[in-house]
Amino acid sequence: MLILVTGGVGFIGSHIVDEALRGGHGVRVLDSLRADVHPGDAAPGTPEGVELIRGDVRDPSAVADALRGVDLVCHQAAKVGLGVSLADAPDYTDSNLTGTAVLLAAMAAGEVRRLVLASSMVVYGEGAYLGPDGHVRPPARREDDLRRGRFEPQDASGRPLRPVLVGEDDQLDPRNVYAASKLGQEHLTAAWARATGGRAALLRYHNVLGAGMPQGTPYAGVASLFRSSLERGEPPRVFEDGRQRRDFVDARDVATANLAAAAWTGSEPDGTVRAFNIGSGVVHTIGELASRLSAALGGPPPVVTGEYRLGDVRHITADSSRARAELDWTPQHPFETAVADFALAPLRAPAAG
């Protein structure tokens, strides 16, 4: 099988390329090598035997060239992160939505009917909770509460809630521009599948960490930000009270999930789009991540600052049992191993943007 990996020089994309090669697949990469992802003085490339097409996924001619003879597309190319301000909105929309639309139009024209899409847990917004009256999705937290250190969501009557796992069929509630763009990618994919009879797996990644993470950018994941602080000899700065619940998953496991999704057949008819949560399945806190990284690197312990960012969600962890059952996929790197490996793994040099 010949697989096109868009964004295949990037953090997760490069892991997928390596895993596809290990599986004996042919691999082609389409990557724009944009300056806010890749440092200008580096020369990123691909492993031997992988064709690299330097081009933007928003460029119809580059995409058409990349799709020649392809059996399946693994679409990783996107502007990532939660955004720094609404000034990021046009770039998120253009990069993620226009890029996906151009890719899907070219796939339709070229009769490429199989897609694995990199989506994200952010499409759920705030996680699911149990309250006195059953399941509830709380509204966005108020700045007045955050200022007072009241970080836990409450129901409309101010009663406490207990976080629970989110399933793929639960309500979707994107709460920032990046999240809206990822959900938009899912909707575009569904429209493509209905129109063409194509089949797509939507992989909703949780907090991914691993070798090759970007550093030195406000768009990087929290694990990279913590490690960058430690390498400067500074303690990781943990926002709120550090008890925010997340699911940290190793990039190597995300790569195997993509290849499992590439092999997915299922019993559903053509035109099917199926979402899968991709996480370790084990809940940890951001404070735990910071403490383990500090210990692994022999650095100063984390500082819990009480700071907050408007728009951040408190708890988001999802049930990944569908991926295990239907994709026959099991993550192989538990939290302790993933963090220990990440602490010593090479990262990407700081980029321009």
CA distance 291 to 300: 9
26: its two tokens: 């042919």
Residue 78 CB: number of other CB atoms within 10 A?
26
Among candidates 49, 48, 56, 50, which has minimal Cα distance to 30? 56
The pLDDT profile of the chain, 353 residues, written as one tens digit per residue, is 999 999 999 999 999 999 999 999 999 999 998 877 776 545 567 899 999 999 999 999 999 999 999 999 999 999 887 655 788 889 999 999 999 999 999 999 999 999 999 999 999 998 899 999 899 888 888 999 999 999 999 988 889 999 999 999 999 999 889 999 999 999 999 999 999 999 999 999 999 999 999 876 665 689 999 999 999 999 999 999 999 999 999 999 999 999 999 999 877 778 899 999 999 999 999 999 999 999 999 999 999 999 998 888 999 998 999 999 999 999 999 999 999 999 999 887 766 54
Q: What is the DSSP string of 236-303?
A: -EE-TTS--EE-EEEHHHHHHHHHHHHT---SPPTT-EEEEEES-S--EEHHHHHHHHHHHHT-PPPE
Angle between helices 286-297 and 222-231 (to 10 degrees): 30
CA dihedral 182, 190, 34, 43 (to 10 degrees): 120
**Which residues partner with 3 through β-bridges?**
27, 72
Query: What residues have CB less than 8 Å from 148, skipping those under 6 apart?
Result: none
161: its two tokens: 């809630």
**Which residues partner with 162 through β-bridges?**
130
Return the beta strands (E) in the chain as ranges. Answer: 2-6, 26-31, 51-54, 72-75, 114-120, 128-131, 134-136, 162-164, 199-205, 207-209, 237-238, 245-246, 248-250, 273-278, 284-285, 303-304
Catalytic (active site) residue 178: yes
The verdict on pTM exceeding 0.85 is: yes
110: its two tokens: 């070229």
Check if the beta carbon of residue 262 is closer than 8 Å to that of residue 308. no
Q: Per the residue annotation, which of 178, 205, 219, 308 is the catalytic one?
A: 178
